[in-house]
Chains A and B, each alone.
Chain A
Amino acid sequence: MAVLRILRYIFGYVHFRAYGGFAERFINLCAKDKIPIWDVKYFDGGITAYTMAAAEKTISSAAEKSGMIFEPIEKKGVPYFIKRYRFRFGVAIGLFLTLIFSIILSSMIWYVKVEGNEELTEEEIITELEALGLKPGVFKKGIDVKELQMTMLYKLDELSWISVNINGSTAIVEVRERNKAPEIIDRGQPSNIVAGHDGQIIKLEVYQGDGMVEEGSAVVKGDLLISGVETLKDGKVLFHRARGSAIARTERNIVSITNNGFPAKKRTSQKLKYSVYFFGIIIPLAPSVEADEWYKTNHMLMSDQTIIPVGIIRERFTSYSSGTLKLTNEQLRLVTILDFYKDQKEKLANVKEMKSSKFGIESKSDSCKLTANYILIEEIGVEKFFEVEDNRKNSNN
């Protein structure tokens, strides 16, 4: 029924009144002449009904033949709308421009969406795509998808596969990144494993080479733990890359000193600049400003999940002056503790177990010192490569 109503509106219809004659004859004549009438209602002396706009003339003659007076009450639909506004050129031009505008906009790319990237950032991919001509505001017809895909694979070595799908006004770029080849361990250069810290060896595991210390023995930094040099029974010497693990009980101290008076930047000025973004065209509303820091945010129109490339670009220009910042004792302590924890995390990364720890903090007006003493169980083995001179070549020469 809704479809019928829409069709009737498109083709136009007339609500009319017919009176003064023979209503039955009028209805019969309409049926005979195939004039569509509907919603026929009786009133004393006549009828009211609807007919199509195209049948208005023929229905008048049917009314005349049946002795009735035909009188339109209301005319509705597109033909009457057009007739009513036929001299309003502004409306016609507006409609025409809207149509043209819609056709042009629907043939453009509005939004580029990147999917499937892991290591590569979306910005990196979009920057490359923009350089190759795929960006909001370009015409869909001007994009050679195959060429673009090939060039992207050539330009971004990290990509193993790319697919550009243009769906409506959105370009969906699906990518797959290349699996990195595992790092090849160079087994050619011989090495020893030496102690990285002073300590007492608790466990020594030798995978390749000769173990040089016993479990329970004390070592100092630089002592040879696993040797890559192997002497055979016949006196020949073989050089290996030593591999193994040396777990030791160690004592470590970490000291963190923070002096008061930090180099700091003070904000001297901040200016905002707005620009209008319209399908890749940027119209600045103010001149650019020289500044130490520049920050840009885009505020684009959104419809559902689609970004429409029309919006406002907001740029913030900030200038700073250099200075020194003095902290209060509490602030200084806090900064020292934060620095200390950062240091501790880095230095004790290989620790297996922390047996005990002692902390001490010393605050002065111009500095703060935090000391820590640890008893640890940790891996102390550090690989140290060495060069081997080939005497055979020298003797041959």
Chain B
Amino acid sequence: MAKSRKKGKDKQPKTSLMTKLATELEVPSEILPGVFRIELQETREATVDGCKGILEYKDERIKLKLSNKTVTFAGLNLELKTFTNERVIISGYIAGIDFSE
């Protein structure tokens, strides 16, 4: 029983070292390498900092590669406003955001 509790504890998502460092130093996490940041403006626009590449691009789904994760934006009439310096701006109707390893 105790073992299974321990296993449950292990399943909690790990906080990355850089994020921990940023928290300790009280500096914005987006300035550190390998830390991504997503900013939403209602469901019309999403700004993603720390994007390493585009894995899938369709008008109802855009999948982006981040440092150690992938993020999928699902919605309607999605389009890529810009993609420069690891910054991507997605506009359209965003219905959902999904993270995966």
Task: Say yes or no for B82: interface residue by CB 8 A criterion.
Answer: yes
- Shortest CB-to-CB span from B11 to chain A, Å, is 32
Q: Which of A27, A41, A43 contacts B83 (CB 8 A)?
A: A27
Chain A contact residues, CB within 8 Å of chain B: 23-24, 27-28, 30-31, 34, 36-43, 47, 49
B79→A37 contact, CB < 8 A: no
In whole angstroms, what is the CA distance A38 to B90 when docked? 10
A31→B58 contact, CB < 8 A: no
Cβ proximity bits B44-87 to A, threshold 8 Å, 1 near / 0 not: 00000000011111110000000000000000001111111000
Known: A27-B83, A31-B83, A36-B84. A41 touches B53 (CB 8 A): no
B59→A28 contact, CB < 8 A: no
A23→B57 contact, CB < 8 A: yes
List B contacts of A39 (CB < 8 A).
79-81
A31→B81 contact, CB < 8 A: no
Which of B53, B78, B83 has the most C-beta atoms of chain A within 10 angstroms of its own C-beta?
B83
| Shortest Cβ-Cβ A-B pairs, 8 listed | A40-B80, A42-B59, A28-B53, A24-B54, A31-B83, A41-B79, A27-B54, A38-B82
List B contacts of A49 (CB < 8 A).
80
B57→A31 contact, CB < 8 A: no
A28→B82 contact, CB < 8 A: no
List A contacts of B79 (CB < 8 A).
39-42
In whole angstroms, what is the CA distance A34 to B83 when docked? 9
5 A-B pairs, CB-CB below 8 angstroms? A23-B57, A34-B84, A40-B80, A41-B59, A43-B59
In whole angstroms, what is the CA distance A30 to B84 when docked? 9
A24→B55 contact, CB < 8 A: yes
Chain B contact residues, CB within 8 Å of chain A: 53-59, 78-84
List A contacts of B58 (CB < 8 A).
42
A24→B82 contact, CB < 8 A: no
Residue ID in chain B nearest A38 by CB atoms: B82
Q: Which of A24, A41, A47 contacts B56 (CB 8 A)?
A: A24
List A contacts of B80 (CB < 8 A).
27, 37, 39-40, 49
Q: Which of A34, A36, A42 contacts B57 (CB 8 A)?
A: A42
B83→A40 contact, CB < 8 A: yes
- Shortest CB-to-CB span from B62 to chain A, Å, is 9
Residue ID in chain B nearest A37 by CB atoms: B83
List B contacts of A36 (CB < 8 A).
82, 84
- Shortest CB-to-CB span from A231 to chain B, Å, is 110
Q: Which of B57, B59, B78, B81 contacts A38 (CB 8 A)?
A: B81
A27→B81 contact, CB < 8 A: no
In whole angstroms, what is the CA distance A39 to B78 when docked? 10
Which of B54, B55, B81 has the most C-beta atoms of chain A within 10 angstroms of its own C-beta?
B54
- Shortest CB-to-CB span from B53 to chain A, Å, is 5
Apart from A36-B84, A40-B80, what 18 extra A-B contacts exist at CB < 8 Å? Answer: A23-B57, A24-B53, A24-B55, A24-B56, A24-B57, A27-B54, A27-B57, A27-B83, A30-B83, A36-B82, A37-B82, A38-B81, A40-B79, A41-B59, A42-B58, A42-B59, A42-B79, A43-B59
Residue ID in chain A nearest B53 by CB atoms: A28
List B contacts of A27 (CB < 8 A).
54, 57, 80, 83
- Shortest CB-to-CB span from A37 to chain B, Å, is 7
- Shortest CB-to-CB span from B49 to chain A, Å, is 13
In whole angstroms, what is the CA distance A38 to B79 when docked? 9
List A contacts of B82 (CB < 8 A).
36-38
